[in-house]
Amino acid sequence: MNVHDLIGKSGKGIPLSRPELIGLLSLAPDSPETYAVMAEANRVSKELTGNKAEVHAQLALNLAPCPADCRFCSFARVNGVFREETRITPEQATAYAKQFEKDGANAVYVMTTARYPFGLFLEISREIRRNLKPETVLIANVGDQSLSNARKIKDAGYTGVYHALRLREGVDSGLSPQKRKESILNFQEAGLLVGTCVEPIGPEHTNEELADLILFTASINPAYSGAARRIPIPGTEISGRGAVTELRMAQIVAVTRLGMPRTVLGNCTHEPCTLGGIAGANLYWAEAGANPRDVREKTEEGRGETVQSCRTIFSECGWDVWRGRSRYFANPI
Ligand code: SF4
Protein backbone atom coordinates (compact mmCIF):
# COMPACT_ATOMS: atom_id res chain seq x y z
CA MET A 1 0.00 0.00 0.00
CA ASN A 2 1.29 3.41 -0.95
CA VAL A 3 -0.33 6.08 1.21
CA HIS A 4 0.35 8.79 -1.34
CA ASP A 5 -1.45 6.76 -4.04
CA LEU A 6 -4.46 6.48 -1.72
CA ILE A 7 -4.36 10.20 -1.03
CA GLY A 8 -4.26 10.71 -4.81
CA LYS A 9 -7.33 8.47 -5.15
CA SER A 10 -9.13 10.50 -2.50
CA GLY A 11 -8.13 13.66 -4.35
CA LYS A 12 -10.13 12.39 -7.32
CA GLY A 13 -13.20 12.05 -5.07
CA ILE A 14 -13.13 8.24 -4.97
CA PRO A 15 -13.96 6.69 -1.56
CA LEU A 16 -11.41 4.14 -0.36
CA SER A 17 -12.08 0.39 -0.35
CA ARG A 18 -12.11 -1.93 2.68
CA PRO A 19 -8.49 -3.13 2.24
CA GLU A 20 -7.38 0.49 1.73
CA LEU A 21 -9.20 1.65 4.86
CA ILE A 22 -7.68 -1.21 6.86
CA GLY A 23 -4.25 -0.28 5.53
CA LEU A 24 -4.61 3.32 6.69
CA LEU A 25 -6.03 2.28 10.06
CA SER A 26 -3.02 -0.02 10.53
CA LEU A 27 -0.51 2.82 10.30
CA ALA A 28 1.04 4.10 13.51
CA PRO A 29 -1.08 7.06 14.66
CA ASP A 30 2.04 9.24 15.03
CA SER A 31 3.60 8.32 11.69
CA PRO A 32 4.21 10.90 8.93
CA GLU A 33 1.86 8.83 6.72
CA THR A 34 -1.01 9.17 9.21
CA TYR A 35 -0.39 12.92 9.42
CA ALA A 36 -0.63 13.02 5.62
CA VAL A 37 -3.98 11.14 5.81
CA MET A 38 -5.24 13.63 8.42
CA ALA A 39 -4.18 16.52 6.20
CA GLU A 40 -6.07 15.04 3.24
CA ALA A 41 -9.21 14.44 5.34
CA ASN A 42 -8.99 18.00 6.61
CA ARG A 43 -8.64 19.26 3.05
CA VAL A 44 -11.68 17.28 1.88
CA SER A 45 -13.85 18.41 4.83
CA LYS A 46 -12.90 22.04 4.24
CA GLU A 47 -13.45 21.81 0.50
CA LEU A 48 -16.92 20.31 0.98
CA THR A 49 -18.03 22.94 3.47
CA GLY A 50 -16.16 26.06 2.37
CA ASN A 51 -14.19 25.81 5.64
CA LYS A 52 -17.32 26.15 7.78
CA ALA A 53 -17.84 23.53 10.47
CA GLU A 54 -21.03 22.99 12.48
CA VAL A 55 -21.89 22.80 16.15
CA HIS A 56 -24.96 20.80 17.13
CA ALA A 57 -26.34 20.78 20.66
CA GLN A 58 -28.11 18.02 22.57
CA LEU A 59 -30.41 18.06 25.58
CA ALA A 60 -31.68 14.95 27.36
CA LEU A 61 -35.29 14.58 28.51
CA ASN A 62 -34.36 12.02 31.15
CA LEU A 63 -31.74 9.93 32.80
CA ALA A 64 -32.61 6.47 33.97
CA PRO A 65 -31.15 3.05 34.62
CA CYS A 66 -31.63 1.65 31.11
CA PRO A 67 -32.32 -2.07 30.59
CA ALA A 68 -30.69 -1.97 27.14
CA ASP A 69 -27.43 -2.25 29.12
CA CYS A 70 -24.98 -0.82 26.61
CA ARG A 71 -21.84 -1.39 28.65
CA PHE A 72 -20.23 1.89 27.56
CA CYS A 73 -23.15 4.06 28.71
CA SER A 74 -23.51 5.60 32.16
CA PHE A 75 -27.29 4.96 31.99
CA ALA A 76 -26.86 1.19 31.53
CA ARG A 77 -28.57 -0.52 34.45
CA VAL A 78 -25.69 -2.97 34.70
CA ASN A 79 -23.28 -0.11 35.40
CA GLY A 80 -25.21 1.02 38.49
CA VAL A 81 -24.26 4.70 38.06
CA PHE A 82 -27.83 6.03 38.19
CA ARG A 83 -30.36 4.12 40.32
CA GLU A 84 -33.41 6.39 39.87
CA GLU A 85 -35.03 7.92 36.84
CA THR A 86 -35.22 11.68 36.64
CA ARG A 87 -37.13 13.51 33.93
CA ILE A 88 -37.04 17.15 33.07
CA THR A 89 -40.27 19.07 32.59
CA PRO A 90 -41.49 20.38 29.23
CA GLU A 91 -40.61 23.88 30.46
CA GLN A 92 -37.05 22.85 31.31
CA ALA A 93 -36.65 21.07 27.99
CA THR A 94 -37.91 24.11 26.12
CA ALA A 95 -35.59 26.39 28.07
CA TYR A 96 -32.57 24.24 27.15
CA ALA A 97 -33.59 24.16 23.49
CA LYS A 98 -34.19 27.90 23.34
CA GLN A 99 -30.81 28.54 24.93
CA PHE A 100 -29.13 26.36 22.29
CA GLU A 101 -31.01 28.24 19.58
CA LYS A 102 -29.93 31.56 21.07
CA ASP A 103 -26.33 30.32 21.27
CA GLY A 104 -26.49 29.61 17.54
CA ALA A 105 -26.39 25.79 17.45
CA ASN A 106 -26.88 24.64 13.85
CA ALA A 107 -29.20 21.87 15.04
CA VAL A 108 -30.86 21.03 18.37
CA TYR A 109 -31.07 17.37 19.46
CA VAL A 110 -33.54 15.86 21.91
CA MET A 111 -32.32 12.64 23.54
CA THR A 112 -34.05 10.04 25.69
CA THR A 113 -33.01 6.68 27.07
CA ALA A 114 -34.38 3.68 25.15
CA ARG A 115 -37.45 3.06 27.32
CA TYR A 116 -38.67 6.64 27.75
CA PRO A 117 -42.44 6.74 27.04
CA PHE A 118 -42.80 7.47 23.35
CA GLY A 119 -46.05 9.45 23.77
CA LEU A 120 -44.41 11.73 26.31
CA PHE A 121 -41.42 12.22 24.01
CA LEU A 122 -43.77 13.33 21.23
CA GLU A 123 -45.72 15.60 23.54
CA ILE A 124 -42.62 17.40 24.82
CA SER A 125 -41.16 17.49 21.33
CA ARG A 126 -44.21 19.33 20.02
CA GLU A 127 -43.91 21.78 22.89
CA ILE A 128 -40.23 22.38 22.10
CA ARG A 129 -41.01 22.77 18.40
CA ARG A 130 -43.73 25.34 19.10
CA ASN A 131 -41.26 27.44 21.06
CA LEU A 132 -38.41 27.40 18.54
CA LYS A 133 -38.04 29.43 15.37
CA PRO A 134 -39.44 27.56 12.36
CA GLU A 135 -35.97 27.47 10.77
CA THR A 136 -34.31 25.79 13.77
CA VAL A 137 -33.40 22.21 12.88
CA LEU A 138 -34.63 19.65 15.41
CA ILE A 139 -33.07 16.17 15.58
CA ALA A 140 -34.21 13.18 17.66
CA ASN A 141 -31.84 10.80 19.44
CA VAL A 142 -34.07 7.98 20.66
CA GLY A 143 -34.25 4.18 20.69
CA ASP A 144 -35.15 1.82 17.87
CA GLN A 145 -38.47 2.64 16.22
CA SER A 146 -41.06 1.16 13.90
CA LEU A 147 -41.95 2.91 10.66
CA SER A 148 -45.18 4.17 12.20
CA ASN A 149 -43.31 5.75 15.12
CA ALA A 150 -40.68 7.17 12.77
CA ARG A 151 -43.50 8.94 10.91
CA LYS A 152 -44.79 10.35 14.21
CA ILE A 153 -41.30 11.70 14.94
CA LYS A 154 -41.29 13.43 11.58
CA ASP A 155 -44.78 14.82 12.21
CA ALA A 156 -43.66 16.19 15.58
CA GLY A 157 -41.35 18.54 13.71
CA TYR A 158 -38.06 16.68 13.44
CA THR A 159 -35.83 16.96 10.38
CA GLY A 160 -33.69 13.96 11.24
CA VAL A 161 -32.35 11.57 13.84
CA TYR A 162 -29.04 10.45 15.22
CA HIS A 163 -28.87 6.66 15.07
CA ALA A 164 -25.86 4.37 15.04
CA LEU A 165 -25.06 0.72 14.73
CA ARG A 166 -22.47 0.71 17.47
CA LEU A 167 -19.25 -1.31 17.54
CA ARG A 168 -19.96 -4.82 18.83
CA GLU A 169 -23.68 -4.07 18.92
CA GLY A 170 -25.44 -7.00 20.57
CA VAL A 171 -22.23 -8.04 22.37
CA ASP A 172 -21.41 -4.91 24.38
CA SER A 173 -25.04 -3.79 24.22
CA GLY A 174 -28.31 -5.55 24.84
CA LEU A 175 -29.71 -4.32 21.52
CA SER A 176 -30.12 -6.21 18.28
CA PRO A 177 -27.86 -5.09 15.40
CA GLN A 178 -30.63 -6.04 12.99
CA LYS A 179 -33.11 -3.79 14.79
CA ARG A 180 -30.66 -0.91 14.73
CA LYS A 181 -30.37 -1.28 10.96
CA GLU A 182 -34.13 -1.64 10.49
CA SER A 183 -34.71 1.51 12.52
CA ILE A 184 -32.33 3.45 10.28
CA LEU A 185 -34.33 2.30 7.25
CA ASN A 186 -37.60 3.19 9.02
CA PHE A 187 -36.36 6.69 9.79
CA GLN A 188 -35.29 7.22 6.20
CA GLU A 189 -38.55 5.78 4.87
CA ALA A 190 -40.38 8.31 7.03
CA GLY A 191 -38.35 11.13 5.47
CA LEU A 192 -35.96 11.69 8.37
CA LEU A 193 -32.27 12.25 7.60
CA VAL A 194 -29.93 10.07 9.65
CA GLY A 195 -26.68 11.26 11.20
CA THR A 196 -24.42 8.48 12.40
CA CYS A 197 -20.92 7.68 13.59
CA VAL A 198 -18.34 4.93 14.13
CA GLU A 199 -18.56 4.63 17.90
CA PRO A 200 -17.75 4.05 20.72
CA ILE A 201 -14.17 3.14 19.80
CA GLY A 202 -12.00 1.34 22.33
CA PRO A 203 -8.50 -0.15 22.11
CA GLU A 204 -9.92 -3.66 21.61
CA HIS A 205 -11.59 -2.86 18.28
CA THR A 206 -9.70 -4.23 15.29
CA ASN A 207 -8.95 -2.29 12.14
CA GLU A 208 -11.23 -4.72 10.28
CA GLU A 209 -14.14 -3.95 12.62
CA LEU A 210 -13.55 -0.23 12.21
CA ALA A 211 -13.36 -0.49 8.41
CA ASP A 212 -16.57 -2.54 8.30
CA LEU A 213 -18.42 0.03 10.35
CA ILE A 214 -17.03 2.93 8.30
CA LEU A 215 -18.38 1.20 5.20
CA PHE A 216 -21.72 0.52 6.87
CA THR A 217 -22.11 4.21 7.70
CA ALA A 218 -21.20 5.09 4.11
CA SER A 219 -23.81 2.64 2.81
CA ILE A 220 -26.75 4.38 4.49
CA ASN A 221 -26.15 7.75 2.81
CA PRO A 222 -25.99 9.55 6.17
CA ALA A 223 -26.28 13.25 6.92
CA TYR A 224 -22.81 12.82 8.41
CA SER A 225 -20.53 10.09 9.61
CA GLY A 226 -17.46 10.35 11.80
CA ALA A 227 -15.75 8.65 14.69
CA ALA A 228 -15.93 8.90 18.46
CA ARG A 229 -13.93 7.18 21.15
CA ARG A 230 -15.38 5.50 24.22
CA ILE A 231 -15.12 7.56 27.39
CA PRO A 232 -14.45 5.21 30.32
CA ILE A 233 -17.15 5.50 33.00
CA PRO A 234 -15.29 5.09 36.31
CA GLY A 235 -16.02 1.86 38.16
CA THR A 236 -17.58 0.04 35.19
CA GLU A 237 -16.35 -3.28 33.85
CA ILE A 238 -15.75 -1.88 30.38
CA SER A 239 -13.56 0.94 31.71
CA GLY A 240 -10.94 -1.76 32.38
CA ARG A 241 -10.42 -2.02 28.63
CA GLY A 242 -9.03 1.51 28.62
CA ALA A 243 -9.39 4.22 26.02
CA VAL A 244 -7.78 5.07 22.71
CA THR A 245 -5.75 8.27 22.58
CA GLU A 246 -7.09 11.44 21.01
CA LEU A 247 -4.45 10.94 18.33
CA ARG A 248 -5.76 7.46 17.44
CA MET A 249 -9.30 8.83 17.40
CA ALA A 250 -8.16 11.63 15.08
CA GLN A 251 -6.60 9.03 12.78
CA ILE A 252 -9.91 7.12 12.65
CA VAL A 253 -11.86 10.36 12.05
CA ALA A 254 -9.57 11.05 9.08
CA VAL A 255 -9.83 7.54 7.65
CA THR A 256 -13.63 7.66 8.05
CA ARG A 257 -13.72 10.82 5.93
CA LEU A 258 -11.76 9.07 3.20
CA GLY A 259 -14.23 6.17 3.25
CA MET A 260 -17.27 8.41 2.69
CA PRO A 261 -18.67 9.55 -0.62
CA ARG A 262 -18.42 13.28 -1.28
CA THR A 263 -22.22 13.57 -0.97
CA VAL A 264 -21.70 13.24 2.80
CA LEU A 265 -20.62 16.69 3.96
CA GLY A 266 -20.35 16.10 7.69
CA ASN A 267 -17.66 14.26 9.63
CA CYS A 268 -18.22 14.32 13.38
CA THR A 269 -16.09 13.57 16.36
CA HIS A 270 -16.90 13.39 20.02
CA GLU A 271 -15.73 14.57 22.44
CA PRO A 272 -14.67 17.82 20.76
CA CYS A 273 -10.89 18.20 20.46
CA THR A 274 -8.39 20.05 18.31
CA LEU A 275 -6.74 16.85 17.05
CA GLY A 276 -10.10 15.74 15.63
CA GLY A 277 -10.64 19.21 14.16
CA ILE A 278 -7.35 19.13 12.24
CA ALA A 279 -8.03 15.58 11.04
CA GLY A 280 -11.20 16.37 9.11
CA ALA A 281 -13.85 16.61 11.83
CA ASN A 282 -16.33 19.35 10.97
CA LEU A 283 -19.03 18.61 13.54
CA TYR A 284 -18.87 18.83 17.35
CA TRP A 285 -21.63 18.60 19.94
CA ALA A 286 -22.50 20.78 22.87
CA GLU A 287 -24.51 19.00 25.57
CA ALA A 288 -26.83 19.86 28.45
CA GLY A 289 -28.71 17.77 30.99
CA ALA A 290 -27.94 14.06 31.18
CA ASN A 291 -25.12 12.61 29.08
CA PRO A 292 -24.35 8.91 28.58
CA ARG A 293 -20.61 9.59 28.94
CA ASP A 294 -20.92 11.50 32.20
CA VAL A 295 -21.71 10.56 35.78
CA ARG A 296 -23.02 14.06 36.58
CA GLU A 297 -26.77 14.56 36.27
CA LYS A 298 -26.15 17.84 34.49
CA THR A 299 -23.31 17.44 32.05
CA GLU A 300 -22.98 21.21 31.77
CA GLU A 301 -21.44 20.91 35.24
CA GLY A 302 -19.24 18.04 34.03
CA ARG A 303 -17.93 16.88 30.65
CA GLY A 304 -20.39 18.75 28.43
CA GLU A 305 -19.16 21.48 26.11
CA THR A 306 -21.14 24.60 25.22
CA VAL A 307 -21.83 25.88 21.72
CA GLN A 308 -19.29 28.63 22.36
CA SER A 309 -16.57 26.31 23.64
CA CYS A 310 -17.05 24.06 20.58
CA ARG A 311 -16.66 27.10 18.35
CA THR A 312 -13.49 28.04 20.17
CA ILE A 313 -12.01 24.58 19.61
CA PHE A 314 -12.86 24.80 15.90
CA SER A 315 -11.29 28.22 15.75
CA GLU A 316 -8.08 26.85 17.29
CA CYS A 317 -7.96 24.38 14.35
CA GLY A 318 -8.37 27.07 11.71
CA TRP A 319 -12.07 26.35 11.12
CA ASP A 320 -14.81 28.95 10.77
CA VAL A 321 -18.28 27.94 11.94
CA TRP A 322 -21.40 27.96 9.78
CA ARG A 323 -24.14 30.32 10.98
CA GLY A 324 -27.70 29.18 10.37
CA ARG A 325 -29.51 25.92 9.67
CA SER A 326 -27.41 22.77 9.52
CA ARG A 327 -26.33 22.02 5.97
CA TYR A 328 -25.65 18.39 6.88
CA PHE A 329 -29.34 17.89 7.55
CA ALA A 330 -30.33 19.46 4.25
CA ASN A 331 -29.18 16.66 1.95
CA PRO A 332 -31.85 14.89 -0.08
CA ILE A 333 -32.17 11.21 0.91
S1 SF4 B 1 -26.86 3.88 24.99
FE2 SF4 B 1 -29.09 4.30 24.99
S3 SF4 B 1 -30.06 2.30 24.85
FE4 SF4 B 1 -27.92 1.92 25.50
S5 SF4 B 1 -27.99 1.86 27.78
FE6 SF4 B 1 -27.52 3.99 27.15
S7 SF4 B 1 -29.55 4.99 27.09
FE8 SF4 B 1 -29.92 2.77 27.07
245-302: per-residue pLDDT in tens?
A: 999 999 999 999 999 999 999 999 999 999 999 999 999 999 998 888 888 888 888 8
Q: φ, ψ for residue 66 (rounded to 5)? A: -105, 125
74-90: per-residue pLDDT in tens?
A: 999 999 999 999 999 99
Q: Are 286 and 309 in contact (CB under 8 A)?
A: yes
Which residues does ligand 1 sit against, CB inside 6 Å?
Answer: 66, 68-70, 73, 75-76, 113-114, 143, 173, 292
Q: Is residue 1 part of a domain?
A: no
Q: Which residues contact 246 (CB under 8 A, 6 or more apart)?
A: 229, 273, 275, 276
- Cα(127) to centroid(ligand 1), Å: 24
Among 84, 80, 58, smallest CA distance to 69 is for 80
- Cα(187) to centroid(ligand 1), Å: 18
Nearest CA to ligand 1 atom 7: 113
Confidence of residue 333 (pLDDT cuts 50, 70, 90): very low
Q: Which amino acid is at 175?
A: L
Among 65, 176, 172, 79, smallest CA distance to 115 is for 65
Q: Are 137 and 159 in contact (CB under 8 A)?
A: yes
Residue 1 confidence (pLDDT):
77
Instruction: Determine the atom of ligand 1 nearest the C-alpha atom of 143.
Output: 3
Instruction: Determine the atom of ligand 1 nearest the C-alpha atom of 76.
Output: 5
Instruction: Determine the atom of ligand 1 nearest the C-alpha atom of 292.
Output: 6
Q: φ, ψ for residue 82 (rounded to 5)? A: -115, 125
- Cα(108) to centroid(ligand 1), Å: 20
Q: Is residue 5 part of a domain?
A: no
Q: Is residue 126 part of a domain?
A: yes
pLDDT at 233 over 80: yes
The DSSP secondary-structure symbol of 76 reads B
157-172: per-residue pLDDT in tens?
A: 999 999 999 999 999 9
Residue 243 belongs to what domain range? 15-330
Q: Is residue 36 part of a domain?
A: yes
Q: Are 98 and 132 in contact (CB under 8 A)?
A: yes
171-206: per-residue pLDDT in tens?
A: 999 999 999 999 999 999 999 999 999 999 999 999
Rounded-to-integer distance, Cα 95 and Cα 132, Å: 10
- Cα(207) to centroid(ligand 1), Å: 25
Q: φ, ψ for residue 253 (rounded to 5)? A: -60, -45
Q: Is residue 269 part of a domain?
A: yes
Q: Is residue 231 part of a domain?
A: yes
CATH number of the domain that residue 248 is part of: 3.20.20.70
Instruction: Determine the atom of ligand 1 nearest the C-alpha atom of 174.
Output: 4
pLDDT at 323 over 60: yes
Q: Is residue 6 part of a domain?
A: no
pLDDT at 332 over 70: no
- Cα(74) to centroid(ligand 1), Å: 8
CA dihedral 115, 118, 121, 127 (to 10 degrees): -170
14-52: per-residue pLDDT in tens?
A: 999 999 999 999 999 999 999 999 999 999 999 999 999
Nearest CA to ligand 1 atom 4: 70
Rounded-to-integer distance, Cα 270 and Cα 318, Å: 18
Q: Is residue 99 part of a domain?
A: yes
Buried b (16+ CB within 10 A) or exposed e, 104-121: ebbbbbbbbbbebebeeb
Pocket test for ligand 1, best of 58, 63, 69, 70 (most atoms within 8 A of CB): 70
Q: Which amino acid is at 51?
A: N
Residue 331 confidence (pLDDT):
53
118-147: per-residue pLDDT in tens?
A: 999 999 999 999 999 999 999 999 999 999
Instruction: Determine the atom of ligand 1 nearest the C-alpha atom of 64.
Output: 7
How many domains, the chain? 1
Neighbours of 93 (CB within 10 A): 22
